[in-house]
Amino acid sequence: MNKKELQKERIALFRDAANFKHVDRIPHLGCVVTWKILDAGYTLSEAMTNFDVLEKSVRYFLDKYPVDAMLDIGIRNQFNVTEAFGTPGYYYYNDEVVGIHDHAYCTVDTLMDFLNDPDRYTWEKILPEKYGEDWKKKDLATWKKTFSEYMKYTKFVLKMASVTGKEYGLPSMAPNNPMKGSIQFAIEELEANLLGIKGLSLALRRNADQLETFVRGWDEQHIDPIIEEIKKSNGPSEKYCFDASIMMLAHNLLRPEQFERFYWPSLKKLLDAYADKKMNVRIFAEGSILRYADYFKDYPKGVLTFHIEKDDPFEFRQAFPNACIMGGMTTDMLYMSSPEECVDYTKKLCDELGKDGGFIFSENKMLSYKNDAKSENLLAVCEFLNSYKM
């Protein structure tokens, strides 16, 4: 089988599992980010701005662990661009960890300024405040150097898509922007960037009406155009494992009535549009989504795939009988247990959740730190999944 055929086979495997069709073996999405760099013997400091090291780390991982798809093909961070700009940003790294500082671009009173003209607001407010006095000193040479690194990064993204696709037969996950990830809802952008965790938490209690106005305006700009594109589409694309990718984190901050007001209307209209076209959406539900199960109960099988983090997969199956489960393997087990225990648990997941489709194996967190997994455990699990016939 050549790599193109392998890619097609893997896409079909993900699609069939998501549609609750029987599969010969359970597909495995490698939910691996910086762990693969450490596993390849490099420090993060050696890798973060060195595309050769990043590529070697991805190749090392794929040569060793035969996964069917990868969450990150080495392109998540753009430190070479921000470092060329010369002033530290929100993200930071050392030899073992990549982290981010909580930050806020807006106050509740300036949210609509951002929404009405994001480019102007970014240029006049966010960047000057972020970079302080340094902002005024950025000359043409600095900008040209930064732009040059940005072009190198863009070429690296294209190169890694080609390496993983043509040399390893890995399919693309979903037709989203490969550099910035998934569809972003207003409440998620508020939490991640615009107000920050603390600012959003306060605003939910004190400024609910202003937040709602912002959320509706955000939808008009960012969600409604996607829905129009979905309506014009021909349905599922066989070029990807899923038709869309969504990350949910902010629901963990919300009370049910806040979810109902600020999140669900936006999410529902998007999911309804995908459901009308029989398209499948992968939702990475960080934290726990179990308490919102009732909202999703009317979607037919084949629309929702939940990549779960803290929720127990067997409890999740009871609460979401209509949604494909992605995940199951915990980082705790991958680090603390033996290869035999990991394989036994993997077998239980496959047998109890994947007999008639509806299950895709993955790790419950993005493998990032050295202690997120032992190599021999991940290797044993990969080998089992590749040989275990359903």
Partner 1 sequence: MNKYLSYPEGYNKLVHDMLPFYLRPAKKMLMRLLLVILRDG
Residue 375 CA to residue 131 CA, distance in Å, equals 40
Strand order in the sheet with 28-30: 69-70, 28-30, 359-363, 324-329, 304-308, 281-285, 244-248
Q: Does 120 bind partner 1 (CB under 8 A)?
A: yes
Q: Of 63-71, 132-140, 168-176, 292-300, which segment contacts partner 1 by CB under 8 A?
A: 132-140
User: How many residues of this chain interact with partner 1, rule: CB under 8 A?
Assistant: 33
139 binds partner 1 (CB under 8 A): yes
Q: Determine the distance from the C-alpha atom of residue 266 to the mean position of all C-alpha atoms in its chain, rounded to a whole number.
A: 19
> In 98-256, at which residue ranges do the beta strands (DSSP E only) sit?
98-100, 244-248
The least distance separating partner 1 from the CB of residue 175, rounded to whole angstroms, comes to 17
* Residue 135 interacting with partner 1 (CB under 8 A): yes
Residue 340, C-beta contacts closer than 8 angstroms, at least 6 positions apart: 380
Binding residue for partner 1 (CB under 8 A) from 14, 20, 42, 105?
Answer: 105
143 binds partner 1 (CB under 8 A): yes
Torsional class of 29: left (φ above 0), alpha (ψ -120 to 50), beta (otherwise): beta
CB of 179 to partner 1, least distance (A): 7
- Interface residue with partner 1, options 180, 205, 232, 389 (CB under 8 A): 180
Nearest CA-CA partner of 77 in 113, 106, 34, 135: 34
Work out whether 51 is an interface residue with partner 1 (CB under 8 A).
no
147 binds partner 1 (CB under 8 A): yes
Q: Which of 5, 95, 124, 229 binds partner 1 (CB under 8 A)?
A: 124
Q: Which is nearer to partner 1, 175 or 265 (CB)?
A: 175
By beta-carbon proximity to partner 1, the closer residue of 366 and 373 is: 366
Position 1 contacts partner 1 (CB under 8 A): no
- Extended strands (E) in the chain: 28-30, 69-70, 91-93, 98-100, 244-248, 281-285, 304-308, 324-329, 359-363
Question: Can you state the percent helix, strand and coil of the chain, rounding each to 5?
Answer: 55, 10, 30
Amino acid at 350: C
Asked if 252 is part of the footprint of partner 1 (rule: CB under 8 A), the reply reads no
Smallest separation (angstroms) from partner 1 to the CB of 62: 26
- In angstroms, give the least distance from the CB of 164 to partner 1: 21
Q: How far, in Å, CA of 245 to CA of 280, rounded? A: 9
Chain positions 56 to 95 lying near partner 1, rule: CB under 8 A, are 77-79, 81-82, 85, 89-91
Burial class (CB in 10 A: 0-12, 13-18, 19+), 284: buried
Q: Report if residue 266 touches partner 1, rule: CB under 8 A.
A: no
Q: How far apart are the first and last CA of the chain?
A: 21
Q: Minimum distance between the CB of residue 124 and partner 1, rounded to whole angstroms? A: 5
The secondary element (H helix, E strand) that includes residue 225 is helix 224-232
Minimal distance, residue 7 CB to partner 1, in Å: 27
Closer Cβ to partner 1, 180 or 205, answer by number: 180
Q: Which is nearer to partner 1, 147 or 314 (CB)?
A: 147
CB of 188 to partner 1, least distance (A): 13
CA-based radius of gyration for the chain: 21
In whole angstroms, what is the distance from residue 360 CA to residue 324 CA?
Answer: 7
Among 132, 133, 136, 294, binds partner 1 (CB under 8 A): 136
Cα four-point dihedral sign 376, 378, 383, 387: positive
Q: How far lies 214's CA from each of 102, 118, 165, 201, in Å?
A: 21, 13, 40, 15
Residue 193 is a binding residue for partner 1 (CB under 8 A): yes
Nearer to partner 1, 117 or 376 (CB): 117
Question: Which residues lie near partner 1 (CB under 8 A)?
Answer: 77-79, 81-82, 85, 89-91, 105, 119-120, 122-124, 126-128, 130, 135-140, 143-144, 146-147, 150, 179-180, 193
